[in-house]
Structure 1
Amino acid sequence: MRRTVLALLAAGALVSGCSTGSDQVQVNNGGEFRFVAATPVGEVIPESERAVAPEFSGTLLGGGQFSSEELAGDVAVLNFWGSWCAPCRVETPEFQEVYAGVRDEGVQFLGLNVKETDDQFALAFVDRFGIEFPSVYDPRGEVALAFRDYPANAIPSTIVLDRQGRVAAVYTGAVTQEDLRAVLDRLLVEGV
């Protein structure tokens, strides 16, 4: 009887820890996360309320180094993903379509591949979907941990930065192509 109760409690904890929503997966990065509410669809955080994004760096999938300093002056889309994430398989090809349309307008995209057991899975994912924007390989979730004030611990998550490197929008779960484009259009006309 005691074993049955313990097994049921353990199963319940496991299920509740993995079901944060119908389109996202909770990722335990070994740190304490504080949740900042997700931005409503198609909306941006008012300029006066935006916080500067943390600095980060890492190794790109396929080699090479990346520093957040490379995003300076551009609107940036940071997408936390994993090849094991079903919503990412829908969202990432849509992100590629948006990226292809805005990359020459001062918008950068950066994938952040988290909790991947082998970078070969991530490289195969990128190849399969024809993803042209770079991704940082972050198997231990160190970059996600840098964004502890934002819900980057749920996969997929997307954080959009304005040209000043401030967090302008935060999304947990999959983001549609139309919603992402609407946010980018709003940010591209700011201060112009």
Structure 2
Amino acid sequence: MRLPAALAALFLTATLAACGGGASDDCVTTSSKAIECPVGKRPAAPQLSGELLEGGRYDLSQDRGQVVVVNFWGSWCAPCRAEIDDLEQVYQATKDQGVRFLGINVRDDRDKAYAFHSGKVSYPSVLDPSSKLALDFDIPPNTIPATIVLDREGRIAVVIREAIQAAEFEPIVARVAAEAS
């Protein structure tokens, strides 16, 4: 892991540990699932690039200035299957607000991942069979689904380590999208 990514992961882990226990004023648990960090306390996201499931390459830097929702998923993951329609719904509802979605498929082979993903969502996914990208974000591959909302400056604004539902998630994404950059 690169040093900046390691520091971001360490900061995120410490922040989440403090927030999870309710012992810190640095972040807020907004629901049973979401932990939001205030603008001044947000760690930078690690570098993210990789091969797209659909072909081609993705680099997070190409979406600088946009809110980026990163969802870690696997075709073998029952909660991931349950949330996919909600993710697509929120993507469709927020994409005109400068929001991009990116899936990161972990611990899967291309054929299984593509069969699950194809036709269910209209946003791209990066193939991460070794879970390296997940680990760079401090997401253990056995704790998916996990969804991270990055603000327009590439900082980690929200972390959700459970399946999401559109009714709870859309207001969170819209709130980050409405922030002044």
Q: TM-score range by the shorter chain?
A: 0.7 to 0.9
Aligned to 2:24: none
The amino acid across from 1:89 in the alignment is R
SS of aligned partner of 1:80: strand
Structure 1 runs not aligned, ≥5 long: 1-32
Aligned to 2:133: 143
Aligned to 2:169: 180
Q: Are residue 104 (structure 1) and residue 96 (structure 2) matched?
A: yes
Aligned to 1:169: 158
Question: Counterparts of 2:75 and 2:63 in 1: how far apart (Å)?
Answer: 24
Aligned to 2:146: 157
Question: Counterparts of 1:43 and 1:155 in 2: how far apart (Å)?
Answer: 16
Relative to structure 1, the CA distance from residue 176 to residue 152 in structure 2 (aligned partners, 3 Å threshold; closer, same or farther) is farther
Aligned to 1:5: none
Return the structure number with greater relative CO, CA threshold 8 A, min gap 6: 1
Does structure 2 retain, via aligned residues, the 8 Å contact 1:43–1:183? no
Does structure 1 retain, via aligned residues, the 8 Å contact 2:44–2:156? yes
Counterparts in 2 of 1:11-160, with a 5 A limit? 35=13, 36-37=16-17, 39-41=29-31, 44-116=36-108, 118-127=109-118, 130-148=120-138, 151-153=139-141, 154-160=143-149
The amino acid across from 1:100 in the alignment is Q
Question: Counterparts of 1:160 and 1:108 in 2: how far apart (Å)?
Answer: 10
Length-normalised TM-score, structure 2: 0.80
Does structure 1 retain, via aligned residues, the 8 Å contact 2:71–2:104? yes
The amino acid across from 1:131 in the alignment is V
Question: Counterparts of 1:152 and 1:190 in 2: how far apart (Å)?
Answer: 29
Q: CA RMSD in A?
A: 1.8
Q: Which has the larger radius of gyration?
A: 1
Question: Counterparts of 1:190 and 1:94 in 2: how far apart (Å)?
Answer: 23
Deviation at 1:44, TM superposition (A): 2.5
Aligned to 2:5: none
How many residue pairs get matched? 156
Deviation at 1:152, TM superposition (A): 5.0
Structure 2 runs not aligned, ≥5 long: 1-8, 21-28
Deviation at 1:75, TM superposition (A): 0.7
Deviation at 1:62, TM superposition (A): 2.3
Deviation at 1:99, TM superposition (A): 0.7
The amino acid across from 1:54 in the alignment is P
Does structure 1 retain, via aligned residues, the 8 Å contact 2:45–2:155? yes
Question: Counterparts of 1:111 and 1:67 in 2: how far apart (Å)?
Answer: 13
Deviation >4 Å, runs of 4+: none
